[in-house]
Amino acid sequence: MLAFIIQRIFQSVVVLLLVGLVAFSMFRFVGDPIDNMLGQERTGADIERLRTQLGLDQPFPVQYAKFLTNAAQGNFGVSYRQGRPVSDILAERAPATLELAAVSGLFAMVLGVALGVFTAIRRDGFTSNAIMTVSLIGVSLPTFLIGILLIYLFSVELGWLPSFGRGETVQVGGWTTGFLTASGLKALILPAITLGLYQMTLIMRLVRSEMLEVLRADYIRFARARGLRDRSVYFRHALKNTLVPVITVTGLQLGAIIAFAIITETVFQWPGVGLLFINAIQFVDIPVMAAYLMLISVMFVGINLIVDLLYFAIDPRLRVDRVEAKA
Amino acid sequence: MTPPILSVRDLVVEIPTRNALLRPVDRVSFDIAAGEILGVVGESGAGKSMTGNAVIGLLDRPAHIASGEIWLKDKRIDGLKGEGLRKVRGKGIGMVFQDPLTSLNPLLPIGEQISETILEHLPVSKSEAEARALAALEEVGIPAAKARMGSYPHEFSGGMRQRVVIALALCAEPDLVIADEPTTALDVSVQAQIIALLKRLCRDRGTAVMLVTHDMGVIAETADRVAVMYAGRLAELGPVRDVLTAASHPYTAGLMGSTPLASKGLARLNQIPGSMPRLGALPTGCAFHPRCPKTQEKCRVDPAPPMQGRAACWYPMTVEEIA
């Protein structure tokens, strides 16, 4: 098990290096940060001086190597736009995104699994069919449109929920949280639904189809023939057997929730890292963009590692295979 | 004679399809007494498994019991739903399925699967249920049962898994066990062991057994009485010795003629010409008449008669024909 984890961490480092390389080579085409940093009245000398100062005159491999050495020490450089260390800016912005992602991920998972199980058990019921039809909307409507529709309905027409921002936040240690105030919680609802709706419908449809598959299995018939209660048949025997594919997809989607928070954060002016990234792109703020992409890839890699470990926890057959493979 | 454990009366199972109403089980009646093993034989699609599933209420929609009665001891169990049905399953009737590789939940230790079944049906504590689960595993001959309680199904061979399945079917002390092709998926060398085990356990407890199979050898070795099914109907029903040695229905006679026997030496096996008709395309009259060597005009026109003696046939085999 330990060997497996070490092996995976080694693989993760390779993945991160590649992500960094791809990201870095793309930044060269985004634009020239110097244009934005210096005002209208600049001289050729100013430009050259700043370019040297930022190290942008050096060849690409040198820039990349320098970035890596610094990043390995936790130093992501200084934002071109804000003139502050990128790590400070990220630490300031990350709580907003992580809280939003956690709430929408939870929303997607809990509701997705519950509705998936429900629609599989009552496969021909009216409610199930209604849920399945409505879920098509969740799958097919783009996120920004859902966000705008929700804002229109709940903020503009009904006036129940705020349309932008995080509401009041409380500082707990180095972490700003919106969980502890009423307005912070209210501000979370719309963006969390917007961000998690697609994932929720995806998980629901996946759970449903996996459940329908498993419910046909012999061991489910046998469980019924043994006179077990429906609750036990559905949740103890059936649901557990659907979890491996469900966890795979859920894990990836959780990463996607964090990564694609960009759109939701833009629609709701949510002060998280996604919004930071969009602003960074507009300004060609290379240190911020690089740090953001590295952060996202670390999260993806981490989530995948957790997913792989969960497989072992769920399915005993995998544990055996690994032992045998080593022997 | 003691009243039967299971009594099936004129059972009809129907499957409505877009084109026609199919009857995979048509007016089937039989009894099984305590401690008795009834073998149910027939070709694939003859309605054997469908009958077993109907008894335990496991018919998949749209198949359903259209008419007839099923009695378990003094309780009518056809048409039971929800809690009533759940209490009959496991406690009243245990079931053993064909494929032991797929009938156990791969993610739960076998000990847990047995004790959850016991806890569901018997008024015992958790530790008592575990003790009984262990005893059940020992009884079906799992070596080092105590150590294997926490093992998962994939850690057992096919034969061992079928032993676990049998332990599961019997652990809540049912009055009747329906074994649906319990040895078909197993190695030949293991089949005999499993059959012997099932036979011994049910004898000891006085459990009635409905043994569904297409293996005449298994029937000959195990069953007390045998029911032969053809195209959803009972063709013949009688004590196993009589049916095997002196078949009364021409179909049974044909089946026996096509079974290899060591005593027959290397003689060529007989075949029954043709194949069993599909349910949607049953011939008029007796369903067997196109393949029957004894067909007469009456067989083509009139449906087969109700059981007369052992067979449901207008012209059962005579003594001379058998010899």
| pLDDT (tens digit per residue) in A225-242 | 888 888 888 988 888 888
Cβ atoms B44, B212 nearer than 8 A: no
Q: Provide, as residue numbers in chain A, all residues whose Cβ is less than 8 Å from the Cβ of B117.
A: 226-228
Instruction: Give the model's pLDDT for residue A80.
Output: 78
Instruction: Give the model's pLDDT for residue B1.
Output: 56
Residue A240: inside a domain, yes or no? yes
Q: Which amino acid, residue B242?
A: D
How many angstroms separate the Cα of B219 from the Cα of each of B167, B199, B255, B276, B311?
22, 11, 13, 21, 18
Through-space distance between the first and last CA atoms of chain B, rounded to whole angstroms: 33
Residue A200: inside a domain, yes or no? yes
- CB-based contact (8 Å) between A229 and chain B? yes
Rounded to an integer, the average pLDDT of B184-189 is: 83
For B83, the closest chain A residue by CA position comes to A229
Which residue ranges form the domains of chain B, and what is each CATH number? 1-34+42-88+215-260+270-323 (3.40.50.300)
Residue A168: inside a domain, yes or no? yes
Range of the domain at A130: 86-271+298-326
Angle between helices A60-72 and A286-314 (to 10 degrees): 60
Rounded to an integer, the average pLDDT of B206-211 is: 91
Cβ atoms A188, A96 nearer than 8 A: no
- CB-based contact (8 Å) between A122 and chain B? no
3-state secondary structure of B305: coil
Rounded to an integer, the average pLDDT of B205-223 is: 88
pLDDT digits (tens, 9 = 90+) for A156-189: 888 788 777 777 777 777 777 777 777 778 888 8
Confidence check: pLDDT of B40 > 90: yes
- CB-based contact (8 Å) between A232 and chain B? yes
Confidence check: pLDDT of A117 > 80: yes
Q: Looking at the 3D structure of chain A, how many domains does it have?
A: 1
Exposure of A141 in the CB half-sphere (CA atoms within 13 A)? 18
Q: Provide, as residue numbers in chain A, all residues whose Cβ is less than 8 Å from the Cβ of B121.
A: 227
**CATH code for position A251:** 1.10.3720.10
Which residue do the tokens 């907003």 mark? A96
The answer to whether the Cβ–Cβ distance between B105 and A237 falls below 8 Å is: yes
Instruction: Give dist(CA A237, CA A229) in Å, integer.
Output: 11
Instruction: Give the model's pLDDT for residue A323.
Output: 47
Nearest to B90 among A217, A226, A236 (CB): A226
Nearest to A227 among B91, B97, B165 (CB): B91
Instruction: Give the model's pLDDT for residue A327.
Output: 39
The answer to whether the Cβ–Cβ distance between A227 and B88 falls below 8 Å is: yes
Instruction: Give the model's pLDDT for residue B32.
Output: 92
Instruction: Give the model's pLDDT for residue A324.
Output: 45
The answer to whether the Cβ–Cβ distance between B154 and A226 falls below 8 Å is: no
3-state secondary structure of B198: helix
For B53, the closest chain A residue by CA position comes to A225
Q: How confident is the model at residue A32 (pLDDT cuts 50, 70, 90)?
A: confident
- Residues of chain B whose beta carbon is less than 8 angstroms from a beta carbon of chain A are 56, 58, 86-91, 94-95, 97, 99, 102-108, 116-117, 120-121, 152, 154-155, 165, 168-169, 172
Instruction: Give the model's pLDDT for residue B82.
Output: 83
Residue A287: inside a domain, yes or no? no
Residue A225: inside a domain, yes or no? yes
Q: Provide, as residue numbers in chain B, all residues whose Cβ is less than 8 Å from the Cβ of A242.
A: none
Confidence check: pLDDT of B265 > 70: no
Residue A62: inside a domain, yes or no? no
Instruction: Give the model's pLDDT for residue B264.
Output: 63
Q: How confident is the model at residue A125 (pLDDT cuts 50, 70, 90)?
A: confident
Beta-carbon contacts of A137 under 8 Å, excluding residues fewer than 6 positions away, are none
Instruction: Give the model's pLDDT for residue A322.
Output: 47
Give the distance from residue B104's alpha carbon to the nearest chain A alpha carbon, in angstroms: 5
Percentage of chain B exceeding pLDDT 70: 96
Q: How confident is the model at residue B13 (pLDDT cuts 50, 70, 90)?
A: very high
Q: Provide, as residue numbers in chain B, all residues whose Cβ is less than 8 Å from the Cβ of A232.
A: 116, 120
Nearest to A226 among B99, B117, B155 (CB): B117
CB atoms inside a 10 Å sphere around CB B307:
17
Q: Are strands B208-212 and B176-180 parallel, antiparallel or unpaired?
A: parallel
Q: Provide, as residue numbers in chain A, all residues whose Cβ is less than 8 Å from the Cβ of B94.
A: 225-226
Higher-confidence position of A301 and B266:
A301
Q: How confident is the model at residue B209 (pLDDT cuts 50, 70, 90)?
A: very high
Confidence check: pLDDT of A198 > 70: yes
Mapped to the 3 state alphabet, what secondary structure does chain A carry?
CHHHHHHHHHHHHHHHHHHHHHHHHHHCCCCCHHHHHCCCCCCHHHHHHHHHHHCCCCCHHHHHHHHHHHHHCCCCCECCCCCCEHHHHHHHHHHHHHHHHHHHHHHHHHHHHHHHHHHHHCCCCHHHHHHHHHHHHHHHCCHHHHHHHHHHHHHHHCCCCCCCCCCCCEEECCEEECCCCHHHHHHHHHHHHHHHHHHHHHHHHHHHHHHHHHHCCHHHHHHHHCCCCHHHHHHHHHHHHHHHHHHHHHHHHHHHHHHCHHHHHHHCCCCCHHHHHHHHHHHCCHHHHHHHHHHHHHHHHHHHHHHHHHHHHHCHHHHHHHHHHHC
- Between A167-176, A255-264, B4-13, B298-307, the lowest mean confidence (pLDDT) is in A167-176
pLDDT digits (tens, 9 = 90+) for B287-317: 888 888 888 888 888 888 888 778 888 888 8
How many angstroms separate the Cα of B305 from the Cα of each of A48, A125, B20, B233, B301?
107, 43, 24, 11, 12
For B55, the closest chain A residue by CA position comes to A225
Instruction: Give dist(CA A291, CA A23) in Å, integer.
Output: 10
Higher-confidence position of B21 and A168:
B21
Nearest to A222 among B97, B155, B172 (CB): B97
Q: How confident is the model at residue B262 (pLDDT cuts 50, 70, 90)?
A: low
Instruction: Give the model's pLDDT for residue B297.
Output: 83
Nearest to B107 among A225, A227, A241 (CB): A241
Rounded to an integer, the average pLDDT of B86-95 is: 89
| Residue of A212, A219, A236 for testing the chain B interface, max B β-carbons within 10 Å | A219
pLDDT digits (tens, 9 = 90+) for B225-259: 999 998 888 889 989 888 888 888 888 888 887 77
Instruction: Give dist(CA B224, CA B245) in Å, integer.
Output: 14
- Enumerate residues 236 to 265 of chain A having a beta carbon within 8 A of any beta carbon in chain B: 236-237, 240-241
Q: Which of A118-127, A280-289, B125-134 has the highest mean pLDDT?
A: B125-134
Q: How confident is the model at residue B39 (pLDDT cuts 50, 70, 90)?
A: very high
pLDDT digits (tens, 9 = 90+) for A97-115: 888 888 888 999 999 999 9
- CB-based contact (8 Å) between A42 and chain B? no
Instruction: Give the model's pLDDT for residue A26.
Output: 73
Query: For residue B89, what are the β-bridge partners?
Result: B93
Confidence check: pLDDT of A326 > 70: no
Q: How confident is the model at residue B164 (pLDDT cuts 50, 70, 90)?
A: very high
Q: Provide, as residue numbers in chain B, all residues whose Cβ is less than 8 Å from the Cβ of A228.
A: 86, 90, 116-117, 120
Instruction: Give the model's pLDDT for residue A325.
Output: 44
| B166 token code pair | 């049998």
pLDDT digits (tens, 9 = 90+) for A310-323: 888 888 887 755 44
- CB-based contact (8 Å) between A100 and chain B? no
